[in-house]
Every structure is written in C-alpha cells, then in structure tokens.
Structure 1
Amino acid sequence: MTSNRFAMAVHIMTLLDVNEGERMTSELIAGSVNTNPVVIRRIIGMLSKAGLVTTNAGVAGAVITRPTDQITLLDIYNAVSSPTQDELFAIHEKPNPNCGVGRNIQSSLEKAFDEAKKAMENKLSEITLAQIAGDVAGKINIE
C-alpha cells in the first residue's frame, strides 16, 4: 500500500493555496498536518523536484508554481510516489508453485491490480487542486 505521503502532500498544497500570499514555514505546515517539520520539508522537496512548488534558500516557505486548476491530484501523487515504493497493491512473493492457484494467482492479480491502478490514476487526473482547496475553503467559511 502507498504511504500517507500523498495525503500529506495534498494537505500541504491545499494549505499553501488557501493561505496564498503568506510564506508558510515548515513548522506552521507541520502544525496543520500534525507531523514533524522534517517530514514536511521532505515532501516539499519532492513537490519542488516535480515543479509543483518553488522554494528559495534562506527564505521560509514554498510557493505553488502554477494555477491550482492546472495541478491535478495525479500530479501530486506522481510527485511523492517513489519508483522503488511498493505498488498500490502488493502481491505476496512466494505462493506454492505446486498448487494450481498458487502457480497462477500472481499473473491474474497483476492484471487486475494494473487495471485498478489505471482507473485510480484516471480519476486523480480529473480532480484539480483548485477543487480540493475550494471545498476546504468552503468548509472553513462555514465554521
């Protein structure tokens, strides 16, 4: 399964958007995410490497690099997903080759899991950061 980095990254990006114009330190962001600032800096580094945010040495905070209606959840997911990370669904490694099911389950599961991952990625590509930030901002205004 994937880590919670994706949810944290969306949280960070939403926080940056909702507080547009404010330079938010990793400490402030960590307070909202309820994690360590080091974790926030790592995730911001990944977002920066993907070109979704920019940071300046010696200056606190990150800035979103393009309009949020042009950033999809898939962009964020790809930014924080590691190529060495386990797949969305892990397949057990050593089923019994002497069993008909054990011998064939992996290829069947791989196909099904690949289709599920593609469906998830298609859905994430349809949802923008602007939609998430708008939804969150609307809820903040209700409180």
Structure 2
Amino acid sequence: MAIVSRYTIALHILTWLAFSAEKDEFFPSDRIANSVGTSPVFLRRILGQLGKAGLVLVQHGGTGAGWKLARRPEEISLLDVYEAVVPAPLFELHHSEPNPRCIIGNGIQPALQRVYGDSEEALKRQLAQESIADLLASSLEHGKR
C-alpha cells in the first residue's frame, strides 16, 4: 500500500478516535476498522506507528483492550501524523545513478533535490496548520450532507 494511503488511513483512525474521545475509553481495532473499511490486522500496524509517535495509547488484554488518543485532538497536527507514518521523504531520486557524462544525467538530481525539498517543506508547513480537531469538524460537516 502506498505511503500516502497509509497516511490517509492514519488520519481516518485519529479522526474516528477524536470523535469517540469524550467516552474516554479504549476502542478495539475491529471497531475502528469498521469505519475505515479495512482489516483490523492492517489497522494495528498503523496504530503501532501512531503509538510509537505518542499519538495513541494502547491497552492490551481482554475487556477494555484497544486504542485511544494520547493527546487532545487540538494538540495533534496533521504534520505529527505525517511524520509518524511517512518514514522517508515523499519524493525519491533515481534508484540507479544517472549517466554523469550526460548533461541532463549529471544535473537532474541536484535540480530535483531542490524542487522536491521545497515541495515537501511547503507540504509540511500546510500540514502543521491543521489539527485532528480541524479534520474532525470538517468531516462532521461534510458527513451531514
């Protein structure tokens, strides 16, 4: 599954947990998976990444086992989530070295590094301005339609 898709699923998970946060309880992954439309096993992998980043808490064992937000939704930026589930830069350079004797092959990577770096920084600035609380409010507004 694409990294960007994992990011979208992570945002869905956190938004669902934010919606349910007033209950202050742990929710099992199969209940969250029902909203996301994917398997609980796959969801747990993403929840594990979110847990390592300090965005969710897990409670193991029988009754009451599951997941909940570790912080208030207003305190979790979309950038926090991006950094938790996107392990590498969004854009990558060639997997094999371009021909250094070719004028384009010699110059393409430095040119792309600048464009990719600037693009990713712009993305991160935008994501830092939005929170899970904002995403929840927008989702609820659109969900009414």
Taking structure 1 as the reference length, the TM-score comes to 0.88
Q: How far is the alpha carbon of 1:49 from its aligned partner?
A: 1.0
Q: Does the 8 A contact of 1:73 with 1:129 survive in 2? A: yes
Q: Which runs of 5+ in 2 are unaligned?
A: none
How many matched pairs?
139
For 1:17, the equivalent position in structure 2 comes to 18
Are 2:43 and 1:40 aligned? yes
Q: Report the more deviating stretch, 8-17 or 36-45.
A: 36-45
**2:69 is equivalent to residue 67 of structure 1:** no
Match in the other structure for 1:76:
81
Which structure 1 segments of 5+ residues have no match? none
Instruction: Look up the match of 2:91.
Output: 89
Deviations 1:84-123 (A, max 9, x none): x4x3112223322221011110011011101111110011
| Aligned counterpart in structure 1 of residue 141 of structure 2, from 128, 138, 143 | 138
The answer as to whether partners of 1:13 and 1:129 remain within 8 angstroms in 2 is: yes
Runs of 4+ displaced beyond 6 Å = none
* % identical aligned pairs: 36
Aligned partners of 1:121, 1:2: CA distance in 2, in Å? Answer: 15
Structure-2 change in CA distance of 1:57 and 1:23 (3 Å): closer
User: In 2, are the aligned partners of 1:72 and 1:127 still within 8 Å (CA)?
Assistant: yes
